[in-house]
């Protein structure tokens, strides 16, 4: 896991070396162990490293044999050994054992189309010196982030948005359409971000930058292809086989791995497979989080502790108070970079803050619900299927009847949802504000412009999946929107804030390709979600674990909004622009929530998250400076005392001339070389000189 960035000066002027270093330094938390840079004429690449694979020799930027192809890479390639053997048999020579070098030689062999051969989580940039072409690529599910800006003079990219705003005259500005979509989804879906002119590279795509223009290509996308010809037993055995292999491949690296452990099936199963693979239960460290004041039925710590005891792992947990949560919330939103109003994101922050003191890598259960059908709402098409045979007139009568029923009355929601087409009923796991409610909340007119309906993000998915049943179409919506926009965004941002790499074996591409064939009858069976996965899990977990309902680090935010979070809520909503937000509508929601008249917890959390985010990112209330978690130093001290990994003594990287490209020393003394009249520089400092910590 690392941070990458770079820029291309469109007018051809040489890269500003200090600017490149400033962009890279903003991602110190992504790579506390090393930094490196490459500059050739108008193109520059920057890199921060969290050393995991080939710790001693895996520095970046990294080049091919003749240094005509350069790469910076964030993530892990789990099939790099197989690819290496194939490439070596075709005459390619490797200098390191790192997975990064495989990308370089694969590019030599197949061009950028070789990205489809990679299995893993990744975002990388390749600069082809001969063709003067830059390629950016991102993994098929969107596990690793990559953002870019295309200005009139400069094209820039980075793992973090913050790096893009080190460029001169660049200031964050709100994109109104993104705000409109955020209010529905609780995150910004698609290629756009909340900031005008900042884009994310979509999952399964690569972007080619050449001669001042960009071309976007899709190389892969997840797709369910149900096959009812196979038996349930075949699917159970196949899932067990592929999942075991996936966990094994996700344990690659020269550092210890831990597991995030909630109370549910997914994380428990990953932890159990890790323990089996390691061979010694005590070699596995597990980490859990709970929140003060949680409903006993929603408190995961006791259940997770019992699972850890059953596994025999070395278990660590933390209980977060409301006061600590309130005090830390602005910092967590600063790390998030975009408003993602998923309260469970902050559970990830606190649990990996603990993990950061012990391990640099954790495995977790993200993706299982989207792949195997784990959300309870996936049962809805089955419970509502009776409505499909009703005449149109009767449905219209039921709609009118439901709207006369008091809010919260039993049957009201069922009638409304049953008479609403799937395409308007389900836009993903979160649908907070309706189009009508957003019209009441925001003050829009012909001058501000009216945004496009947020259904546009899901309509295309529904059009392309008309051959699938409704449950599978819902899963396709979640795979395409909710998974990359919410689940994987929060997972990356909150763990990397603590310099911890999070790996997600359930999103192994080979596992997905197998699971994508499981028919709905086996995904949802006997009243259970994820039926095939639960059945496969029985060989590794006791019934108490594989039959548990899903919780996922729940935060008691609904109660806290009536108590310890109330002052912050009122203050934050008051800071919103009254020319854009309807203050009376927001106060109505606050009062109804406080009085228990109606539960507006999720909607208020969406508004609070946005209000705090805009204070940080648009109004500059907090200064965004490079920061390294103090827990990283704790981990290093444990390393030195023999309680963790042992990093090598970094070799001194003395300036060396090689075909016109020169590698710099740890003190950043930069020698200059010339290749075909184009100045090229590479420099870096193991440990990242100038690190800042609290």
450 — pLDDT class (breaks 50, 70, 90): confident
Residue 184 domain-assigned (yes or no): yes
What does the alpha-carbon distance between residue 606 and residue 343 come to, in Å, rounded to a whole number?
10
CATH of residue 456? 3.40.50.620
pLDDT of residue 481: 97
Cis check: omega of the bond before 539, within 30 degrees of 0 = no
SS (H, E, C) 523-549: HCECCECCHHHHHHHCCCCCHHHHCCC
Q: What is the mean pLDDT of residues 665-682?
A: 34
Sign, CA torsion 198/199/200/205: negative
pLDDT of residue 170: 75
Bridge partners for 290 per DSSP: 319
What does the alpha-carbon distance between residue 638 and residue 316 come to, in Å, rounded to a whole number?
15
pLDDT of residue 575: 95
Residue 567 domain-assigned (yes or no): no
pLDDT of residue 676: 31
Residue 338 domain-assigned (yes or no): yes
675 — pLDDT class (breaks 50, 70, 90): very low
Q: What's the domain count of the chain? A: 3
pLDDT digits (tens, 9 = 90+) for 222-251: 999 999 999 999 999 999 999 999 999 999
364 and 385 fall within a common domain: no
Q: What is the mean pLDDT of residues 470-494?
A: 97
Helix (H, G, I), strand (E, B) or coil at 118: coil
**Among 390-404, 423-437, 444-458, the range of highest mean pLDDT:** 423-437
The least confident of 117-126, 269-278, 381-390, 482-491 is 381-390
Whether pLDDT at 407 is above 90 = no
Residue 602 domain-assigned (yes or no): no
390 and 484 fall within a common domain: no
pLDDT digits (tens, 9 = 90+) for 161-206: 999 999 877 788 999 999 999 999 999 999 999 999 999 999 999 9
Q: What is the mean pLDDT of residues 477-496?
A: 97
Which residues have CB under 8 Å from 153's CB, separation 6+? Answer: 9, 10, 11
Whether pLDDT at 550 is above 70 = no
77 and 158 fall within a common domain: yes
263 — pLDDT class (breaks 50, 70, 90): confident
199 and 175 fall within a common domain: yes
Quickly list DSSP for 373-408: T--GGGGHHHHTGGGGGS-HHHHHHHHHHHHHSPTT
119 and 217 fall within a common domain: yes
Residue 95 domain-assigned (yes or no): yes
Which residues have CB under 8 Å from 589's CB, separation 6+? Answer: 600, 603, 604
Bridge partners for 259 per DSSP: 286, 363
Whether pLDDT at 355 is above 90 = yes
End-of-domain residue from the set 555, 577, 598: 555
Residue 693 domain-assigned (yes or no): no
Cα dist. 97→52, 64, 192, 587 in Å?
11, 13, 37, 59
pLDDT of residue 627: 76
Residue 614 domain-assigned (yes or no): no
pLDDT of residue 103: 97
Measured in whole angstroms, how far is the alpha carbon of residue 405 from the centre of its chain?
40
256 and 351 fall within a common domain: yes
**Residue of 640 and 153 predicted with greater confidence:** 153
Q: Is 539 exposed, middle or buried (0-12, 13-18, 19+ CB in 10 A)?
A: exposed
pLDDT of residue 447: 72
pLDDT of residue 639: 64
Q: Is 343 exposed, middle or buried (0-12, 13-18, 19+ CB in 10 A)?
A: buried
Question: Helices (DSSP H) in 456-556: which residue ranges?
Answer: 456-463, 470-477, 488-496, 509-515, 520-523, 531-537, 543-546
215 and 232 fall within a common domain: no
Catalytic residues: 2
**Residue of 476 and 685 predicted with greater confidence:** 476
Whether pLDDT at 92 is above 90 = yes
387 and 473 fall within a common domain: no
Bridge partners for 63 per DSSP: 70
Q: What is the pTM of this model?
A: 0.91
Q: Is 627 exposed, middle or buried (0-12, 13-18, 19+ CB in 10 A)?
A: middle
190 and 329 fall within a common domain: no
End-of-domain residue from the set 555, 584, 616: 555
CATH of residue 655? 3.60.20.10
Helix (H, G, I), strand (E, B) or coil at 163: helix
683 — pLDDT class (breaks 50, 70, 90): low
pLDDT of residue 68: 94
Which residues have CB under 8 Å from 295's CB, separation 6+? Answer: 556
Residue 156 domain-assigned (yes or no): yes
351 and 491 fall within a common domain: yes
Cα dist. 333→182, 223, 340 in Å?
15, 32, 8
138 and 238 fall within a common domain: no
Give the range of the structural domain holding residue 55, as residue numbers without chain letter. 2-221+644-686
End-of-domain residue from the set 523, 555, 587: 555
pLDDT digits (tens, 9 = 90+) for 265-298: 999 999 999 999 998 888 899 999 999 877 766 6
141 and 58 fall within a common domain: yes
Return mean pLDDT, the chain. 88
Give the CB-side neighbour count of residue 155, counting CA atoms within 13 A: 20
549 — pLDDT class (breaks 50, 70, 90): low
């Amino acid at each position: 896991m690392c941070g990458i960035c770079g820029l291309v000066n469109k007018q051809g002027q040489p890269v500003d070396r200090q600017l490149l270093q400033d962009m890279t330094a903003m991602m110190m938390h992504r790579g506390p162990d090393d930094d490196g840079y490459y500059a050739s004429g108008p193109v520059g690449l920057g890199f921060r490293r969290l050393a995991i694979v080939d710790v001693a020799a895996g520095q970046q930027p990294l080049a091919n044999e003749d240094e005509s192809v350069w790469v910076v890479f964030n993530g892990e390639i789990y099939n790099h050994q197989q690819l290496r053997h194939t490439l070596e048999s075709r005459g390619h020579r490797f200098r390191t054992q790192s997975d990064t070098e495989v990308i370089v030689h694969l590019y030599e062999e197949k061009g950028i189309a070789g990205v489809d051969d990679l299995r893993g989580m990744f975002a990388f940039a390749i600069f082809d010196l001969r063709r003067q072409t830059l390629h950016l690529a991102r993994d098929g599910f969107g596990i690793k982030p990559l953002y870019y800006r295309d200005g009139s003079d400069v094209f820039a990219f980075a793992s973090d948005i913050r790096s893009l705003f080190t460029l001169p005259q660049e200031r964050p500005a709100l994109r109104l359409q993104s705000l409109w979509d955020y209010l529905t989804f609780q995150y910004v879906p698609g290629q756009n971000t909340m900031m005008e002119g900042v884009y994310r590279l979509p999952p399964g795509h690569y972007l080619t930058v050449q001669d001042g223009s960009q071309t976007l290509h899709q190389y892969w996308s997840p797709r369910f292809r149900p096959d009812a010809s196979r038996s349930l037993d075949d699917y159970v055995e196949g899932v067990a086989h592929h999942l075991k292999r996936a966990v094994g491949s996700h344990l690659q690296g020269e550092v210890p791995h831990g597991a995030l452990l909630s109370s549910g099936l997914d994380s428990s199963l990953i932890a159990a497979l890790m323990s089996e693979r390691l061979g010694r239960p005590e070699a596995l460290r597990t980490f859990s989080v709970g929140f003060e004041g949680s409903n006993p039925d929603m408190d995961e710590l006791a259940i997770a502790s019992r699972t850890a005891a059953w596994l025999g792992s070395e278990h660590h947990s933390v209980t977060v108070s409301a006061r600590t949560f309130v005090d830390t919330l602005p910092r967590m939103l600063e790390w998030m970079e975009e408003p993602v109003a998923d309260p469970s994101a902050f559970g990830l922050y606190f649990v990996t803050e603990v993990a950061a003191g012990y391990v640099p890598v954790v495995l977790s259960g993200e993706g299982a619900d989207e792949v195997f059908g784990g959300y309870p709402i996936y049962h809805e098409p089955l419970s509502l299927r009776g409505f499909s045979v009703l005449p149109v007139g009767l449905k219209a009568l039921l709609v009118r009847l439901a709207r006369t029923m008091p809010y919260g009355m039993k049957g009201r929601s069922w009638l409304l949802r049953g008479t609403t087409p799937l395409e308007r009923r389900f836009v993903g796991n979160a649908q907070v504000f309706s189009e009508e409610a957003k019209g009441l909340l925001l003050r829009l007119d012909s001058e501000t412009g009216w945004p496009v309906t947020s259904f546009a993000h899901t309509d295309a998915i529904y059009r392309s999946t008309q051959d699938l049943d409704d449950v599978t179409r819902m899963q396709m919506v979640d795979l395409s929107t909710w998974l990359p926009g919410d689940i994987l965004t929060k997972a990356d941002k909150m763990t990397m804030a603590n310099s911890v790499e999070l790996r997600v074996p359930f999103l192994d591409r080979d596992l997905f390709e197998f699971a994508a064939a499981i028919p709905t009858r086996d995904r949802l069976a006997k009243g259970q979600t994820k039926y095939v996965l639960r059945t496969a899990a029985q060989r590794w977990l006791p019934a108490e674990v594989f039959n548990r309902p899903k919780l996922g680090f729940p935060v008691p935010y609904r109660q806290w909004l009536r108590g310890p979070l109330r002052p912050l809520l009122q203050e934050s909503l008051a800071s919103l622009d009254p020319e854009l937000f309807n203050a009376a509508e927001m106060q109505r929601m606050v009062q109804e929530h406080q009085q228990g008249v109606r539960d507006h917890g999720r909607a208020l959390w969406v508004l609070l998250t946005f209000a705090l985010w805009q204070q940080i990112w648009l109004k500059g209330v907090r200064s965004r400076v490079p920061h390294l978690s103090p827990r990283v130093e704790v981990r290093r001290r444990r390393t030195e005392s023999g309680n963790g990994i042992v990093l090598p003594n970094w070799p001194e990287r003395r300036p060396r001339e090689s075909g016109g490209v020169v590698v710099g020393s740890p003190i950043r003394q930069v020698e200059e070389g010339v290749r075909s009249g184009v100045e090229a520089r590479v420099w870096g400092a193991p440990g990242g000189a100038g690190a800042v910590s609290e």
